[in-house]
Structure formats: structure tokens, C-alpha cells
Amino acid sequence: MKKILVANRGEIALRIMKTIKRMGIGTVAVYSTIDRNAPHVKFADEAIHIGDNPSNRSYLLGDHIISEAKKLKVDAIHPGYGFLSENAAFAAAVEKNKMIFIGPEAASISMMGDKLAAKKAVKEYNIPMVPGTDKALTDPDKAKALALDIGYPILIKAAAGGGGKGMRVVKKPEDLDEQLKRAISEALSSFGDGSVFIEKYISSPRHIEFQVLADTHGKVLHLFERECSIQRRHQKIVEEAPSAILGSELRAKMGEAAIKVARSCNYRGAGTVEFLMDEDLNFYFLEMNTRLQVEHPVTEYITGLDLVEEQIKIARGEKLNLEQNELNLQGHALELRVYAEDPLHDFLPNMGTLSKYKVPVGEHIRVDDGYEEGMEIPIHYDPMISKLITYGKDRDEAIQNMIQAIDNYIIEGVTTTLSFGKYVCRHHAFQSGNFDTHFIEKHYDTEALKEAFEKEAQVAGLLALKLYLKDRTILRLPNEPQIQ
């Protein structure tokens, strides 16, 4: 493998290329017009302009990307996450054009990309599942009967959904009709597939997922779990590894279940098996993501592995050079997704220009980003600016490092989720490990965040005043009488 094209943008494109370069392999970037000066483009050995800003005219143009890759004699394509990463037709087309797709086979992607097909595949392996329907629903009467069986509240989900989109909670039977209709039409317009199904709505779950790695020689390993329960709009915002509540026995049990899920779809490469866990520590299979996950850095910290390197080695046909019992979980890592969103106003996107941008540096701090000072956050893509990751010998240390790193991360021009991250890290529910996916509803108080802002502004003001007075003292000392 001499040259890899990364069919993505932003932080993940840059992060992937760093590993590719370190491995001595050539890098090719693709970019839309607005991204022409982006760091991932500057970093790559070669770069191709693939179209206009909207993703359906650039980053989603699979055939166009493939034909450009062929012109440049690319050996393999890494899709990152989002965009084409879970597009089975794209994976198949890459291989048909004699290039390597760095990811699983198209058949595994289609199976796991459809949440219903995934459940069907996993069922035979005795993996616990959230009670629900196993077929797509269209008939409201049938849906009503099934929902009563399962018991309210229920969740309507799009079979092809992702990124937290396409889910509707229904609390009582009279709302089902209307919600079902809406869910179907939304699923159709967002995912091009109107299939929806019903799941029991678990009231206070935690989201715990397992990283898996599978080579092409039959070996499947798990790299422990990530806890991703701090979410807004069903999408993760703070993640960590390991989870504060898993003991080694439960970890081993869930890890084995994750490996079985990977085997059920003949998996290859790096993937993630997601579970929900209820208050009694029962776990249920949720879905499998057949790609590199946004929050993979926390796993890299606690295992010492580079997951992109593992993906590339597997794609080259190499054997996994590890045994399950040799894998050691060391220390604790946290990740905060830094989104251009306003945490005081429902996490609404808040695009703009990064008028000031300075990342924190230090031991045990990692920033995966794809922007520089002066750049605009385009409205066309996901509003994530970066991921701030910290490590510590234990959970408390990782949390303290995160708070400090947030304080040293300077972003001006757009409102971000940095302040929310600090709120979470300082909250006793988070610190004690006693939280679930409803952290925001239960514990997030925008007034408290506002107050913290104001207090900090006051402290900053006082500090500035103190410094000013000190400067005045020093500067005027030779000529003037000292001011008391």
C-alpha cells in the first residue's frame, strides 16, 4: 500500500492522514471549495478539489472520488466517519475498481447499517436485546397492538438512522398514530428509507459501547468499553474509557457479546458494538457502527494502540499481533466534543469565524482538530470543531486534566461546548459516576452555567486589575512615588 486517499474532511481526515504519513504511506486529500485551505488539505501530499460546498456535491460523490483516485493511482480509500463510511455501495465500488476499502466488506456494512437486519443477525447468538419489533412498521393498527405488548413509553426508530437522528419517544397510545406518520416521513427524507420500528424506551439507561478489531484470519478482539452517556439530542458529547461502573467480570461478558456481534456479520477491521445498560446493570444490544468512531481516541489512550494503524494493517491482510489476554487497560481517558453550538440555548449551532483559536498543550492532552485561527466553520457540515481528549492515571486525574485543558483552550468568534464540558466535569453526578443518558435533563442548569460565566468574568476582571496595578507599580517606580 503506497498511497491512501482519505474521503473525508475536518479533524478526522487530518487525524487519519497523520497515521498514514507516519507509516510512510502517501496521502491524498479531497476537498470542497470552502475547504480549499483547510489543514487536512495542506497536510496531504496531494489534494483533489471534488466539488461545491454541499456534501451531496462533494464529499458524498462516491463515483467521482473513485475516478479521481484511480487517476492518481491510489491503492486504498479510508472513509473516516459520516459521509461515505457506512455506504455499502461505495465500499463495493471501491473494491470493484481494484482499490482497497479500509473498512469491512460491503455485506457487513449493509447488514449492520440497517438496525433491523442487525438485530436479526445478532438474535441467533443469544445476545440480549431491547424488547421491540423485528420488522418495519407501516400499519398503525398493528403498531398500536405491538406497542401495547411492549409497554409504554416506547421509542420509534428509523432502521437506517444514525447520528442520533430519526428517533421519537411516544409516552401514550393516543400519540402513536401521529408520531408514526411523522417518523416514517422523516426517515424517508433523511435516510432515503422509510422503515421504522419500535423499541421499549429504557427509562434511565447508560450508553456503553465496545471497540472491536477483526483481522482477515479469523481473529476478533475487543478493546474494552467507552461510556458515552452524556448526550444531547441522542448524540454523544462527552465520552470516556473505561466506564466508571463496569467491573472486570461484566466487562469480560460484554466484550464477549461484542465479539459475537462482530462474528455475526463476518466483520473485518475496526468497529463498535453499542449497548444500553439499565439500572440493574442488564445490557442490551443497540447497534453496530461499521467504521472508526468519533470517540476512538479514548480507547487509544487506555490501550496504547493507534486504531487507524490497526485498520490499515488489517486492510493490508496482516494478522492481529495481539491476544485478548495480553490487552491491558491502563489509566483513564475523557473526550469532549467541541461543537460550534450554544450550550445556553439548546445547543443550537452557532457558526462563525474563529477569530481567536489557541489549543491547550501539555502532557496527557490531545486535541484532534481540523481548523486554524481565522477559519470559518462552514454551515454545510457537522458543526464539530475539535475533540479535546485528556488522560490520567485514574478517573479523577483525567477529569482534573480536562478542566485545566478547557481553561487553556481559547476559542473566540463562535460559542462552543467547552463551557458545558467544564460544567459536566465539575458536577458531582458526573464525578461520582452516577449518571445516565438524561444527564442534561436531570442535572444541567443553564442558570448555573451563566453564573459560573459571570463569576469567571469577574475573577478575570479582578486579575486584570491586579496585574494592571502591579504593572503600574513596576513601571512608575523609578520616577514617581509609589501608589498605595
Q: How far out from the chain centre does Cα 361 lie?
A: 22
Contact residues for 225 (Cβ-Cβ < 8 A; gap 6+): 208, 209, 210, 211, 241, 242, 243, 246, 251, 254, 255
- State the nearest-atom distance from the C-beta of 83 to ligand ADP, in Å: 8
Element (H, E) at 473: helix 446-476
- State the nearest-atom distance from the C-beta of 357 to Mg ion, in Å: 30
- State the nearest-atom distance from the C-beta of 287 to Mg ion, in Å: 5
235 is an interface residue for ligand ADP by CB under 6 A:
yes
Grid cell of 298 as nine digits: 479514548
Instruction: Rank residues 238 and 414 by Cβ distance to ligand ADP and give the closer one.
Output: 238
Residue 380, φ and ψ in degrees, nearest 5: -80, -15
Contact residue for ligand ADP among 161, 255, 413, 421 (CB under 6 A): 161
339 is an interface residue for ligand ADP by CB under 6 A:
no
Which residue reads 459560573 in cell numbers?
452
234 is an interface residue for ligand ADP by CB under 6 A:
yes
- State the nearest-atom distance from the C-beta of 483 to ligand ADP, in Å: 55
Binding piece for ligand ADP, criterion CB under 6 A, among 67-75, 248-256, 291-299, 302-310: 291-299
Query: What span, in angstroms and rounded, lies between the C-alpha atoms of 287 and 248?
Result: 23
347 Rama class: left (phi>0) / alpha (psi -120 to 50) / beta? left
Grid cell of 198 as nine digits: 419500535
Active-site position among 15, 226, 251, 291: 291
User: Residue type at 344?
Assistant: L
- State the nearest-atom distance from the C-beta of 291 to ligand ADP, in Å: 7
Secondary structure of residue 195 in the 3-state scheme: coil
If one counts every other C-beta atom within 10 angstroms of the C-beta of residue 397, the result is 15
Residue with CB nearest ligand ADP?
Answer: 162
382 is an interface residue for ligand ADP by CB under 6 A:
yes
Binding piece for ligand ADP, criterion CB under 6 A, among 33-41, 202-210, 424-432, 451-459: 202-210
Catalytic residue status for 291: yes
Contact residue for ligand ADP among 294, 307, 354, 365 (CB under 6 A): 294
Residue with CB nearest Mg ion?
Answer: 274
Instruction: Rank residues 199 and 215 by Cβ distance to ligand ADP and give the closer one.
Output: 199
CA atoms within 13 A on the CB side of 180: 21
Query: Using CB under 6 A as the criterion, what x/- string covers residues 420-459 for binding ligand ADP?
Result: -----------------x----------------------
Binding piece for ligand ADP, criterion CB under 6 A, among 163-171, 318-326, 354-362, 449-457: 163-171
Instruction: Rank residues 186 and 274 by Cβ distance to Mg ion and give the closer one.
Output: 274
Instruction: Rank residues 273 and 411 by Cβ distance to ligand ADP and give the closer one.
Output: 273
119 is an interface residue for ligand ADP by CB under 6 A:
no
Residue 225, φ and ψ in degrees, nearest 5: -110, 170
Query: What span, in angstroms and rounded, lies between the C-alpha atoms of 172 and 260?
Result: 36
301 is an interface residue for ligand ADP by CB under 6 A:
no
179 is an interface residue for ligand ADP by CB under 6 A:
no
Q: DSSP character for 63?
A: H
- State the nearest-atom distance from the C-beta of 274 to Mg ion, in Å: 5
CA separation (Å) from 25 to 4, 28, 66, 74, 75? 7, 10, 19, 11, 10
- State the nearest-atom distance from the C-beta of 163 to Mg ion, in Å: 8
**Per rule CB under 6 A, count of chain residues that contact ligand ADP:** 31
Grid cell of 380 as nine digits: 454545510
Q: How far apart are the first and last CA of the chain?
A: 71
416 is an interface residue for ligand ADP by CB under 6 A:
no
Region 390-409 residues binding ligand ADP, contact defined as CB under 6 A: none
Contact residue for ligand ADP among 140, 164, 247, 433 (CB under 6 A): 164
114 is an interface residue for ligand ADP by CB under 6 A:
no
Grid cell of 194 as nine digits: 422509510
Residues 240, 241, 242, 243: is their CA dihedral positive or negative? positive
130 is an interface residue for ligand ADP by CB under 6 A:
yes
Facing residues of 30 across strands?
48
87 is an interface residue for ligand ADP by CB under 6 A:
no
Query: What span, in angstroms and rounded, lies between the C-alpha atoms of 467 and 472?
Result: 8
- State the nearest-atom distance from the C-beta of 167 to ligand ADP, in Å: 6
387 is an interface residue for ligand ADP by CB under 6 A:
no
Region 101-160 residues binding Mg ion, contact defined as CB under 5 A: none
Region 249-288 residues binding Mg ion, contact defined as CB under 5 A: 274
Element (H, E) at 441: helix 439-443
Secondary structure of residue 148 in the 3-state scheme: helix
Please report the DSSP string for 401-431 in residue order. HHHHHHHT-EEESS--THHHHHHHHH-HHHH
290 is an interface residue for ligand ADP by CB under 6 A:
no
The CA-CA-CA angle for residues 356, 358, 359, to 5°, reads 145
Query: What span, in angstroms and rounded, lies between the C-alpha atoms of 217 and 244?
Result: 34
Facing residues of 46 across strands?
28
Contact residue for ligand ADP among 27, 87, 293, 311 (CB under 6 A): 293
In the complex, the residues that contact ligand ADP under the rule CB under 6 A are 81-82, 130, 155, 160-164, 167, 191, 199-202, 205, 207, 231, 234-236, 274, 276, 286-287, 289, 293-295, 382, 437
Catalytic positions, written as ranges: 291
In the complex, the residues that contact Mg ion under the rule CB under 5 A are 274
